[in-house]
């Protein structure tokens, strides 16, 4: 797997995106509702291996804090993406699509800020994103990226829920994944009308068509798929 650079200083524009704070309307509505490449070191799968964690951040899945930091990482990614699109939507977007991205940025900021506050000093800190593969002037490219983020978000929460030990954390995860599923359905319908409930296209992400069950992936698979969008090195242990 390719060795990556240590976290670099973000530009003022990227800092603005990552540090954007929840606006009053979005906070009142959603705050209570309480994903170069990333190097993934799944050393926790085999205890006889010791990962190189000399730089980057570490997700330790030995307890709920590791799972919450995992969710925090994914919500940082989604929030940064939606803020960027909402600030300068593609010219081909309809008004409904512009409105959607305006609203969803507040959902994702609320999720991000919830985890940041809950984790407090135990949080992994801010990640550096890499959206160079997305053409933000193209409606097709933006919708495709949104689909990727939302499908991964749903699969991530569904796959990680079993690792949560505290009931309160499991309840919040359920509240958030249901919102992410709404996003995923809407975006899919924008790309292909009527496809919002199609589970057959999600089998690669762990969906069970016969059982009517949505996507579910283990953290290592989710992080591997999201790696192209995150520059910060992420080490994983006790997975």
Q: Which tens digit of pLDDT belongs to each residue from 86-123? A: 999 999 999 999 999 999 999 999 999 999 999 999 99
Q: Between residues 130 and 45, which one has the greater pLDDT?
A: 130
How many Cα atoms occupy the beta-carbon half-sphere of 87 within 13 Å? 11
Task: Report the b/e string of 60-88 with b at 16+ CB within 10 A.
Answer: bbeeebbbbbbbbbbbbbbbbbbbbbbee
End-to-end CA separation in angstroms for the chain:
18
Confidence of residue 162 (pLDDT cuts 50, 70, 90): very high
Interior angle at CA 159, CA 153 and CA 164, nearest 5 = 105
pLDDT of residue 165: 97
% pLDDT > 90, the chain:
74
pLDDT of residue 15: 45
Confidence of residue 180 (pLDDT cuts 50, 70, 90): very high
Q: Summarize the confidence of residues 126-133 as an average pLDDT.
A: 97
**Which segment of 23-32, 116-125, 163-172, 210-219 scores lowest on mean pLDDT?**
23-32
- Class for domain 67-237, per CATH? mainly alpha
How many Å apart are CA 51 and CA 57, to the nearest integer?
12
51: pLDDT strictly greater than 80? no
Confidence of residue 20 (pLDDT cuts 50, 70, 90): low
What does the DSSP 8-state code read for residue 212? T
Which are the contacts of 128, defined by CB distance < 8 A and separation ≥ 6? 7, 8, 10, 14, 230, 231, 232
Q: Between residues 102 and 11, which one has the greater pLDDT?
A: 102
State the average pLDDT for the chain. Answer: 85
Q: Summarize the confidence of residues 172-193 as an average pLDDT.
A: 96
pTM, entire model: 0.78
């Amino acid at each position: 797997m390719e060795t990556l650079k240590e976290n670099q200083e973000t530009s003022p524009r990227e800092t603005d995106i990552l540090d954007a704070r929840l606006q009053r309307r979005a906070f009142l509505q959603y705050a209570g509702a309480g994903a170069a490449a990333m190097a993934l070191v799944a050393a926790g799968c085999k205890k006889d291996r010791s990962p190189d964690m000399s730089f980057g951040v570490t997700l330790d899945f030995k307890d709920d804090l590791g799972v919450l930091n995992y969710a925090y990482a994914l919500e940082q990614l989604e929030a940064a993406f939606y803020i960027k699109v909402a600030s300068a939507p593609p010219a081909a977007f309809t008004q409904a699509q512009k409105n959607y991205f305006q609203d969803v940025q507040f959902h994702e900021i609320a999720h991000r800020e919830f985890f940041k506050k809950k984790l407090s000093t135990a949080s992994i800190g801010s990640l550096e994103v890499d959206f160079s593969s997305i053409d933000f002037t193209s409606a097709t490219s933006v919708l495709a990226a949104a689909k990727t983020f939302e499908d991964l978000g749903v699969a991530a929460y569904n796959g990680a829920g079993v690792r949560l030990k505290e009931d309160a954390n499991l309840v919040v995860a359920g509240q958030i994944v249901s919102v992410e599923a709404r996003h995923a359905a809407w975006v899919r319908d924008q790309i292909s009308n009527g496809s919002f409930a199609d589970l057959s296209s999600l089998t690669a992400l762990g969906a069970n068509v016969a059982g009517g069950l949505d996507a579910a992936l283990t953290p290592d698979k989710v992080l591997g798929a999201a790696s192209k969008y995150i520059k910060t090195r992420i080490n994983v242990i006790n997975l």
